């Protein structure tokens, strides 16, 4: 698992600073043109990053100074402040094709709060405990804030999920693989997303050396802050002196958090249905990709799909593209 005493923020800074692929840069530039100078940073994460592909829809988080300055619409700004983030969609032409991105808009302040685990929503600290890239940072301050928040997301993940590991005679043996597989399954269960256990386990398997490094660094820092007593054996084994009563409290708190987080996720989903920008293009692309059929819409159908789109919907039902 590696020796030494690497600082977590140093690991995260190097990881975020890796060169971004050109499609991600193109999409980040398009997002900046849409939302203006309030965009402080753009983070790329998710399956397209892991697979090294621009096929499909890239996933970004866009950190802004002000919700009011990010939108022309007061409704979108208020919705973003009420229940962050807003989830939007954008397409951009590139190299004779089309790039697609689904991105979440959140203020720098809210991103830092969520990364620190303040509130019920685990999405930000669960997402950004995994590898990410900083595609754009407006200045050094924005870069430092992004690095600090992502490092804190990893600490939050490790600190919140470590109590779920089994304890024997007052000792927890911490295997990074078990910590991440258990933790990722639990955070997915707190959302509305259905993921197979094999798919979740594959997240750790995609880069075990990285997950091991950040686990050790986070455990050392949490131990130094007094959260628990960490012991490291010469062979690399990690153990924590556990307090049975404290572990039971932490596990009970997590069980209570899960249904409340699901309620929050439902509210977020309903809000996304109202705020998701250009959802018609997104749905059409998804249908074309899964069916292999091209779907043509008139300009009127694109502007008012629920009024004029029924002939297309009936055709897709008849042809069993929709079921």
Domain identity same for 95 and 61: yes
What's CA 196's distance to the chain center, in Å? 18
Long-range contacts of 261-268 (CB under 8 A, 24+ apart): 261/120, 261/121, 261/122, 261/190, 261/191, 262/190, 262/191, 262/192, 264/83, 264/120, 264/121, 265/121, 265/190, 265/191, 265/192, 266/192, 267/83, 268/83, 268/121
What pTM value is reported for the model?
0.84
Domain identity same for 239 and 310: no
Joined together, the tokens standing for residue 91 give: 């397409």
In terms of residue numbers, what domain contains 302?
279-318
Residue 36 lies in a domain: yes
For β-strands 58-64 and 238-241, DSSP reports them as unpaired
Residue 1 lies in a domain: no
Domain identity same for 175 and 111: yes
Instruction: Say what the pLDDT of residue 208 is.
Output: 96
Which residues are CB-contacts of 189 (< 8 A; sequence separation ≥ 6)?
Answer: 258
Residue 323 lies in a domain: no
State how far the alpha carbon of 145 is from the alpha carbons of 122, 124, 130, 235, in Å: 19, 15, 17, 35
Instruction: Say what the pLDDT of residue 280 is.
Output: 64
Q: Tens of pLDDT along the chain (323 residues)?
A: 544 557 999 999 999 999 999 999 999 999 999 999 999 999 999 999 999 999 889 999 999 999 999 999 999 999 999 999 999 989 999 999 999 999 999 999 999 999 999 987 888 999 999 999 999 999 999 999 999 999 999 999 999 999 999 888 888 999 999 999 999 998 888 775 556 778 888 999 999 999 999 999 999 999 999 999 999 987 778 999 988 888 888 888 888 877 787 777 777 767 776 776 666 666 666 566 555 667 676 777 656 555 545 565 566 556 555 45
Domain identity same for 93 and 233: yes
State how far the alpha carbon of 115 is from the alpha carbons of 53, 153, 155, in Å: 27, 4, 9
Residue 2 lies in a domain: no
Domain identity same for 205 and 70: yes
Q: Strand locations in 124-197, DSSP E?
A: 132-137, 167-168, 171-173
Domain identity same for 288 and 170: no
Burial status of residue 292 (CB atoms within 10 A of its CB: 0-12, 13-18, 19 or more): exposed
State how far the alpha carbon of 71 is from the alpha carbons of 74, 76, 266, 274, 277, in Å: 7, 7, 24, 15, 12
Domain identity same for 285 and 271: no
Residue 130 lies in a domain: yes
As a whole number of angstroms, the distance between CA 58 and CA 99 comes to 8
Domain identity same for 243 and 302: no
Count up the domains in the chain and report the number: 2
Domain identity same for 161 and 307: no
Instruction: Say what the pLDDT of residue 285 is.
Output: 62
Q: What are phi and psi of 230, to 5 degrees?
A: -100, 135
Instruction: Say what the pLDDT of residue 12 is.
Output: 98
Bridge partners (DSSP) of residue 61 are: 43, 104
Domain identity same for 86 and 56: yes
DSSP string, 58-124: EEEEEEES-HHHH-S-HHHHHHHHHSSPEEEEEEEEETTEEEEEEEEEEEHHHHHHHHTT-SS--HH
């Amino acid at each position: 698992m590696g020796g030494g005493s690497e600082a977590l923020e140093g690991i995260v800074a190097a990881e975020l600073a890796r060169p971004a692929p050109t499609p991600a840069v193109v999409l980040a530039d398009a997002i900046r043109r849409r939302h203006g100078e309030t965009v402080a940073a753009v983070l790329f994460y998710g399956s397209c990053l892991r697979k090294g592909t621009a096929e499909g829809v890239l996933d970004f988080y866009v950190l802004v100074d002000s919700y009011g300055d990010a939108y022309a619409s007061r409704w979108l700004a208020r919705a973003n402040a009420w229940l962050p983030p807003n989830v939007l969609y954008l397409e951009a032409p590139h190299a004779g094709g089309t790039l697609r991105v689904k991105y979440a808009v959140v203020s720098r302040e809210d991103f830092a709060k969520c990364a620190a685990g303040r509130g019920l929503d685990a999405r930000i600290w669960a997402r950004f405990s995994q590898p990410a890239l900083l595609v754009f940072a407006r200045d050094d301050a924005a870069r430092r804030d992004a690095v600090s928040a992502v490092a804190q997301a990893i600490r939050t993940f490790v600190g919140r999920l470590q109590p779920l590991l089994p304890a024997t005679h007052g000792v927890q043996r911490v295997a990074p693989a078990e910590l991440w597989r258990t933790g990722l399954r639990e955070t997915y269960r707190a959302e509305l997303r259905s993921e197979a256990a094999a798919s979740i386990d594959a997240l750790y398997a995609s880069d075990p050396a990285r997950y091991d490094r950040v686990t050790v660094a986070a455990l050392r820092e949490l131990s130094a802050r007094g959260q628990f007593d960490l012991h490291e054996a010469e062979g690399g084994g990690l153990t924590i002196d556990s307090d049975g009563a404290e572990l039971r409290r932490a596990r009970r708190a997590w069980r209570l958090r899960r249904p409340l987080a699901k309620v929050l996720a439902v509210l977020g989903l309903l809000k996304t249905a109202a705020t998701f920008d250009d959802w018609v293009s997104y749905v059409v692309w998804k249908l074309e990709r899964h069916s292999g059929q091209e779907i043509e819409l008139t300009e009127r159908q694109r502007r008012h799909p629920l009024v004029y789109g029924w002939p297309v919907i009936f055709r897709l039902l008849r042809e069993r593209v929709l079921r």
